[in-house]
Structure 1
Amino acid sequence: MQANQNLKAIGIGVVASVFFCSTYVMNSFISVGSGHWAWTVGLRTFLMLVILLGILQYKNQLKPLLCILKEQPKVWVFWGSVWFGLVYVLLTAAASFGPGWLIAGVFQFTIVAGILLSPFLYKDKRAKIPVRALLLSVLILIGIGLMQWSQRKGIYTDAQLLSCIILVLLSAIIWPLASRKLLLFVEEQDYQLNAMQRVAGTAIGSMPVIFLLMVYGYSESGIPGTSHILSILVITISSGVIGTILFFKAMHLAQNDSGALAAVEATQSVEILATVIGEVLLLGIAWPSATGNIGMLLITGGLILYSIPAKKKALRTAVKV
C-alpha cells in the first residue's frame, strides 16, 4: 500500500511542478515590464487565499480550519510569513538578475537541502539520510550545474548571475525547512487537515507580512497595472492554488517514508524543463546550448531513477493482490 502511495505521490509531484513553472515564467515577464516585486509577492498570496477561502467555505471546511488556527496562531503566522513571504520575496527579487529557467534550476538545491535537513527535523526513521536519494539528488544537481554553465556568456553579467544564485539558494534552503516543519507540526498536533486547508492556513498566517508588502509596493510604485495584475492572477491560479495544493498532497502521501519525501521534492526538477519551454514560447528566449541540454537530460534521468523503485514495488503489490 505504501509503495502505491509513494508512486502516486511522485506522479502528483511531477504535475505540481509543471504548474509551479508559471511562477518563473511570469516573474520574468513581470520583471521585463517593470512590475514591482512587492506587489507580485503580496497580491499572489492574497488572491490565492481569496480563492481558497471560497472553495473551503463551499465545502464546509473553513470553520474547522479557523478553529485550529486559533489554538496556536503564532506557529501559523511564523511559518506562513517564511513560506509565502520570505521564500517568494527571494525568488521574485532573483528574477531581476537572471532568466526564469536558471532560477528554476538553482532552486533545485532544495532537493539536497530537504534530505540534509531530515536528521535535524525528525526523531523517527525519517531522520536517516537515504544514501540512494542523496546520490540521485547529486546527479540532478550536476545537471543543474551544466545548465547554469551554459548561461555564463549570456546577456547577464557575472555579478547579476551571482546575485541571482545567492537569492535562490537561500530560498531553496528555506522552502523544505518550512514545508517539513509545518507538516510535522500538523502531524504532532494530530490536526485533521487536508492539503487545501493546510495551504489556506499557511496563507492566512502570512497575511500580516503580505499586507506590509502591499503597502510598501504602493508607496514605491502606486497601484499595479492591468498586465501586472493579470500576470499575478496566472501565477496565483497555476502555481499558488493548483501547484501548491498538489505538492502538499504529494508530501502528505509520502510523509512516512524519507526516501519518498526526497523523491517528491526531486520532482521539482521538472520545473526547469517546463520553464525553458514556457520562456522560449512566451518570451522568445533562446533554447539552452548543448551543455544545457545535457544538463536537462541528467535531471530527467535522475527523476526517472527516483521513481523506478516505487514503480517496481507497486507492480509487485498489484500482482500479489
Structure 2
Amino acid sequence: MVNSFLSVNGGHWAWTVGLRTFFLAILLLTILLVQGRLKHLLDTLRKQWWVWAGWGSVSYGLVYVLITFAASLGPGWLIAGVFQFTIVAGILIAPVLYKDQRAKIPVRALLLSVLILVGIALMQWSQKGGVYTTGQLWLCVILVLSAAFLWPLANRKLMLHQEKYELQLNSLQRVAGVALGSVPVQIILFAYGYAEVGFPAPQQLVAVLVVALSSGVVGGILFFKAMHMVRADGAALAAVEATQSVEIISTVIGEVLLLGIAWPNELGTAGMLLVMAGLILYSLPARRRVLIPAEV
C-alpha cells in the first residue's frame, strides 16, 4: 500500500528499496547493540560474508526491486495477491533444496495452495478493463511472480546454511544479517536513485521508515521466527508461508480507506474469500507438535 502511495506521489522506486533496508538495518543493529548481541552477529558474518551478501542481496535487494517497480504498473492489493505464488514456490523448490523428509512435497499443502491461488486468479481477473493497460498488468505479474519465487529460495537457503554450520543466531540477528548482507545492492540503488531524481523528498523518507518498522522489524522478525520454529516440517513451513495471504485483504482495505481506490468487484471479493478459506484450512497442520523453540 505504501509502495502504491509512493508511486502515485512520485517517489522513485530505487530510493524506496534502498532506504527500506537501510532503515531496517539501522533499527535492528541498534536493538542488537543494546542487547549485547551485535558482536556475535558481526563475528558470524565476517567468517562467511559471501553467503549473507549473496542471499541478502536476493531477498532484501532483488525481491524488493521487483515488487517496488511493479507498484508503478498495478494496484498494491493486486501485487500482494500475485506475490502469494510464493506459497506454491516454497513447496515446489523443496525437493531441490532438502535431502530429508522436507524434500517430499506435501499433497495436502499443495492442494490448499492451489485453492488460494484460484482466489488470487479471480482477483486478477477482476481487474480486466480497469485503469491499467493489459501490457502493464502482464509486466506487473511477471515481475511479482519472479519475486515470489526468489523470496522462499533465499529464506530457505539461509536456514539451511544456519543448520549446516550450527549458527546460534536468533530471529532478530538473522534478519539483521540479511539486511547487512544486502548493503552492496543498496549502495547501487542509492547511486541510481540519485542519478535519476536527486535526493528523496521528506515525504518519501517518512513513508519508507513506516515500511521498515512495520514490515521489516515487526513483520520480518515474527515471520522468520515462525519459519525457524517449524523448519523440520514441510507442511508447517508451507502453512507459515500461507499466512502472507492476509496481506491481500489488509492492502485492499488500506488502499480503499487511505488512497481512495474502489473496492474490488464481485470476482475480486470472491477471490479474497477463497484466500481466507484456504488460510483457515492451512492452520490445521499446525496443531501437530512440530514446533521447535526459537529465541527472539
TM-score w.r.t. the length of structure 2 is 0.96
Task: Count residues in correspondence.
Answer: 290
2:207 is aligned to: 231
For 2:54 and 2:285, the matched residues in 1 are separated by 37
Q: Does residue 1:141 correspond to 2:124, yes or no?
A: no
Partner amino acid for 1:207?
Answer: V
Q: Does residue 1:26 correspond to 2:2, yes or no?
A: yes
For 2:50 and 2:63, the matched residues in 1 are separated by 18
2:293 is aligned to: none
Runs of 5+ in structure 1 lacking a partner?
1-24, 315-321
For 2:35 and 2:110, the matched residues in 1 are separated by 40
Q: What does residue range 82-93 of structure 1 map to in structure 2 within 5 Å?
A: 82-93=58-69
Q: Residues 149 and 55 of structure 1: is their aligned pair in 2 closer, same or farther, counting only changes over 3 Å?
A: same
For 2:259 and 2:60, the matched residues in 1 are separated by 26
Deviation at 1:313, TM superposition (A): 6.8
For 1:167 and 1:151, the matched residues in 2 are separated by 17
Q: Does residue 1:177 correspond to 2:149, yes or no?
A: no
Greater RCO structure (CA 8 Å; 6+ sep): 1
Q: Residues 290 and 70 of structure 1: is their aligned pair in 2 closer, same or farther, counting only changes over 3 Å?
A: same
Q: Per-residue displacement from partner, 1:194-252 (whole Å, max 9, x unpaired)?
A: 00100101111110111111111111111111111111011110111111111101101
Runs of 5+ in structure 2 lacking a partner?
291-296
Q: Helix, strand or coil: the match of 1:123?
A: coil
Partner amino acid for 1:278?
Answer: G
Partner amino acid for 2:2?
Answer: M
For 1:103 and 1:235, the matched residues in 2 are separated by 16
Structure with bigger helix share is 1
Runs of 4+ in 1 over 2 A off after TM superposition: 308-314
Deviation at 1:152, TM superposition (A): 0.8
Q: Residues 61 and 28 of structure 1: is their aligned pair in 2 closer, same or farther, counting only changes over 3 Å?
A: same
For 1:205 and 1:285, the matched residues in 2 are separated by 37
Partner amino acid for 1:235?
Answer: V
Q: Residues 110 and 230 of structure 1: is their aligned pair in 2 closer, same or farther, counting only changes over 3 Å?
A: same
Q: Does residue 1:153 correspond to 2:150, yes or no?
A: no
Q: How many percent of aligned residue pairs carry the same amino acid?
A: 64
1:280 is aligned to: 256
2:226 is aligned to: 250
Partner amino acid for 2:243?
Answer: T
Q: Does residue 1:117 correspond to 2:93, yes or no?
A: yes
2:18 is aligned to: 42
Give the superposed CA RMSD: 1.0
Deviation at 1:153, TM superposition (A): 1.6
Q: What does residue range 8-23 of structure 1 map to in structure 2 within 5 Å?
A: none
